[in-house]
Structure 1
Amino acid sequence: MKALIFIILISISSCKTENIEKSISGNFTGMNGEFSITLDSIDSDGKSFKIDSIRVINNSFEFKNLRSKKTKKYQIKVISDSLKRTISYITIWFENEDVFIDGLLNKENTYFDTIKVKGGKLNEIQAGFSNIMQKHGDEFERKLALPENKGKGDSLFKKLVKLIEIDQINFIYLKPNNEISLENIIRLSSQISNDSLELYYNLLDSNLKSSKNGEILFEQKKLDKLKVGDYIQNFTARDLNNKEIAISKFKGKIILLDFWASWCMPCHEQNQKEFSKIYEKFKDENLVIISYSLDKKDAKEKWKEASKKDNITWVNISNLKGFNDPISRQYNISSIPNSFLINQKGIIVKSFKDYNPDNEVIESEILKLIK
C-alpha cells in the first residue's frame, strides 16, 4: 500500500511539474513612446505563425501561461507606433522554462544597442553565436575608422565575414548537439568539407538526426561540391510556368549561371543593368543565361514579381528551397549574387561573387570563350 501511495504521489508531482505555466517577459531600457510586442511561433520550414500580441507597459511586457513539452522556436517582433514598423526581430528558444529579454534601445528608439536573452541552454548557445558577431563587428568599426583604411570598406567587410564564419564553425564543434548549431552548420556547410560535415553529423543524437534539418544535413554531406575547373553535373528545376528544365539541355553552349533572389537588391541591379545588356549582346552567340532563384516556396509570387520587374527574358528557374537547395550547396553559395561561367565543354571556368557596376569582367570573360 505504501508503495502504491508513493507511486501515486510521484505521478501527481510529475504532472504538476509538466503543467507549470511559464512566461516570456522582458524590459526595454530607454523606450520612449508607444510600442507593441508580437509573439510568433517558427516552424521547421522557417514559417512564422502569430501566437499573441500585447502592449508594452512601463517599458515591460509579459506573455503568460506558456507551456510545451517540446522545445519551441519563437520570434518576438517589437513594433513602434510612431514609426509604424517593426524595429527589431528577436529569436528566442522556449524550453519550458521562463525566458527574460533585457534590451537597451538607442536614443532615437529605432533599434536596440544591446539585447540579452536569458533562460534555457539554447538561448545561451544562441548568445554565443551573437557574441562572435558582436566581437568582430566592433573590431570592424574600429578598423574602418582608421585613416589608413579609407576606401577599404569592401575588403574589410569580406575579411569580417570570413572571420565570423571561422569562429562560428569552431563554436559549432564545441557545442554540436543542439538545434542552433545544426541550423548554423547547414547555413555554413558550403565552407566546410564533406568529411567535417560527416564528423559533425555523427555527434548528433537520434532526435536531431531524424529532424528536418538533420535530414537536410545528411543529404548535404554527400554532395560533390563544385569549383572552378570542375565539370558541371546535370540538375533540373522549374520555371515560372512550372515547366521542368534540365541544365543538360544546354550542352555545347556557353552558360552563365547566376544565383539570385527576389529580396536581394544587388541582384536586381545586376539583372537590370548587366545581365540584360549581356543577354542582348550575346543571345545569338551560343550563350545562355540561367537565373536560379534562391527564393523559398512561400515566396513564389515575389520571385514572379521580381522577374517581371527585372525584365528577365532568359532562362529563369528555381526549386524554391532557399539556401538549403542542394544545387545551391553544390555550388558553395554563401551569399548572392554569385555567378558561374561555364564553357562549351561543361567546365566551370570562372566564378563571380557580388556585383560591381564599374566592372565588366563577366563580359570580357564571355568574349574569350566566343573567340
Structure 2
Amino acid sequence: MRNLIILFAFALLAASCQEEDEKGYYLSGSIKGVEDGTDVYISEISEETERPAVIDTTQVQNGKFEIDLEDNEQPNMSFISFQGIGGNIIYISENEKINIEAYKDSLRSSKITGGKENRALNQYMTHLKEVNRKITAGRAEMQQAYNEQDSSRFETLQATEQEIKDNDAVAKKKILEENQDSYVSLMILMDMLSMKVHPVKEIQEMYSNLSEDLKETTLGKSLKETLEKQGTVAIGSKAPEFTAPTPDGTELSLSDAMGKVTIIDFWAAWCKPCRVENPNVVKIYDKYHEEGLNIIGVSLDRPGQKDKWLQAIEEDGLEWQQVSHLEFWQDPVARLYNIEAIPATFILDENGVIVDRDLRGDELEERVRELLN
C-alpha cells in the first residue's frame, strides 16, 4: 500500500500550505460494532481465475477504515469483506474517492458513494432490490393461496410475477442504454444472459455497442467468450454435430438421429426434475414419433454408474435413442452445448436448426405439433 501523495502550494508572501483532495483510487469507510484491528479485505475479479482475489488489506480503527490503492487502468468488479463477518460489499473500482457506509449485520445494505461507475451501480442495485422485494412478497402470497387451494388467486399472482419480470427486462435495457460507457452495463448483460429472457443474438448486439475499453476489461472478455459459446447453440443457429456412445457401446451421431423434428434432451438418472418431466416427454414421443418426431437423450450420469443410467431408461420407458460418455458435467456433448443445468432441451427443425429450447409439458407438445404441421 503506497502512501498518500500530498501536494503543497507555497505562496510568495506567506509560508502556508494547502492539502489537496486525494487523487486516484482511494477507499474509505465506516462500520459500527467492530473491534479495532479487524482486518478489511479488498478483493477484485482476477483475470486469470475470473474469481475474487484479495489485492490489499487495511484495518478498522475507531469504527473507520481507509486505504489508498494503485490507480486502475480500467474499472473492475470489487469487493470489501471483514474479518469474522460473513458476506461482502460489491462496488466498482475506479480512480475516484469511494466511501462505504458499512452495516455489520447486513453488508448487502451498505451505502456506497463514488464516481460515475458507482453511481450507475447504485442505480442498478436499487432496481434489483426492488424487483427481489416484489417477487419475494408475491411468492409468499402464492404459497398462502396454494395452501388455501385458491387456484384463481394463485393464477393471478403468477401473472403478476410474470409482469414484474417483463418490467424488469424493460428496466434493465433502459439502465443499460443510459450507461453505455459504464462498467455496470457489463453486469447487466451478464444478468440478462443468465436469466435467459433475451435472445443471445440480441445480447450480442447490445454488447457490440459498448465501448472498446469496456470490452477489454476482465468481465468484458469473459462476457464475450460466454456469448460466443452460447451463440453456437442459440435459437436460429445450426445445432452442433456430435457423436457419443450408446448403451451398447456403439457410436451414434446427431445427424443419424435426426427426424422431421428432433429433440435433444439433456438429463440424468440422478436428476429428480428430469425424472419428473420424463413422463411428459414419453407421452409426446408416443403421440408424434410416427409423424416424424425423433428424440436423442444425452445423459450426464456419473463415471462408473452406467447401471443407474440403464435402470432409469427402463423405469421411465424411454424408447428413444440414448447416448452418454458417463462423465457427469464434463460430458463433451454437454460442454459443446454449454449445459449448466438439467433438464435442458433443444428443439430442432428438419434442417437441424435450433428453433426453441427448454420447453416443458404442454408448451413442448404445442411446439412439436406446430413444427410437424
Whether TM exceeds 0.5 here: the answer is yes
1:68 counterpart residue number: 71
Q: Is this contact kept in 1: 2:267–2:344, CA < 8 A? A: yes
Please report the RMSD computed on the Cα atoms of aligned residues, expressed in angstroms. Answer: 5.7
1:176–1:56 Cα change, 3 Å: same
Task: Choose which of 291, 298, 304 in structure 2 pairs with 1:290.
Answer: 298
Task: Choose which of 25, 42, 54 in structure 2 pairs with 1:39.
Answer: 42
Q: Secondary structure at the match of 2:127?
A: helix
Q: Is 1:137–2:156 an aligned residue pair?
A: no
Q: Secondary structure at the match of 2:95?
A: coil
Q: Is this contact kept in 2: 1:23–1:66, CA < 8 A? A: yes
Q: Is 1:251–2:251 an aligned residue pair?
A: no
Structure 1 range deviating more: 269-278 or 119-128: 269-278
1:181–1:345 Cα change, 3 Å: closer
Q: Structure 1: which amino acid aligns with 2:174? A: N
1:207 counterpart residue number: 213
1:221-300 map, 5 Å = 227=235, 233-235=238-240, 247-248=254-255, 250-252=257-259, 254-258=262-266, 268-271=271-274, 274=277, 287-290=295-298
Q: Is this contact kept in 1: 2:41–2:58, CA < 8 A? A: yes
Distance in 2, matches of 1:167 and 1:146, equals 24
- Cα distance, 1:344 vs. partner? 7.2
TM-score by length of 1: 0.57
Q: Is 1:315–2:318 an aligned residue pair?
A: no
Q: Is this contact kept in 2: 1:238–1:319, CA < 8 A? A: no
1:277–1:36 Cα change, 3 Å: farther
Q: Is this contact kept in 2: 1:172–1:181, CA < 8 A? A: yes
Q: Structure 1: which amino acid aligns with 2:239? A: N
Q: Is this contact kept in 2: 1:288–1:315, CA < 8 A? A: no
Distance in 2, matches of 1:127 and 1:360, equals 41
Pairs aligned (count): 306
Q: Structure 1: which amino acid aligns with 2:28? A: S
Q: Structure 1: which amino acid aligns with 2:131? A: H
Q: Is this contact kept in 1: 2:41–2:54, CA < 8 A? A: yes
Q: Secondary structure at the match of 1:172?
A: helix
- Cα distance, 1:131 vs. partner? 1.3
Q: Structure 2: which amino acid aligns with 1:70? A: E
More strand per residue: 1 or 2? 1
Distance in 1, matches of 2:233 and 2:24, equals 47
Q: Is this contact kept in 2: 1:39–1:53, CA < 8 A? A: yes
Q: Structure 2: which amino acid aligns with 1:251? A: M
Q: Is 1:179–2:186 an aligned residue pair?
A: no
1:94–1:361 Cα change, 3 Å: closer
Q: Structure 2: which amino acid aligns with 1:90? A: I
1:36–1:157 Cα change, 3 Å: farther
1:146–1:43 Cα change, 3 Å: same
1:122 counterpart residue number: 117
Q: Is this contact kept in 1: 2:30–2:100, CA < 8 A? A: yes
Distance in 2, matches of 1:175 and 1:68, equals 22
Q: How far does the alpha carbon of each residue in 1:248-285 deviate from its partner, in whole angstroms, 9 at most, with x for none?
A: 4643495333499xxxxxx9542566569979xx9xx9
- Cα distance, 1:134 vs. partner? 2.1
Q: Is this contact kept in 1: 2:25–2:95, CA < 8 A? A: yes
Percent sequence identity is: 15
Q: Structure 1: which amino acid aligns with 2:165? A: V
Distance in 1, matches of 2:302 and 2:64, equals 42
1:88 counterpart residue number: 87
Distance in 2, matches of 1:216 and 1:113, equals 24
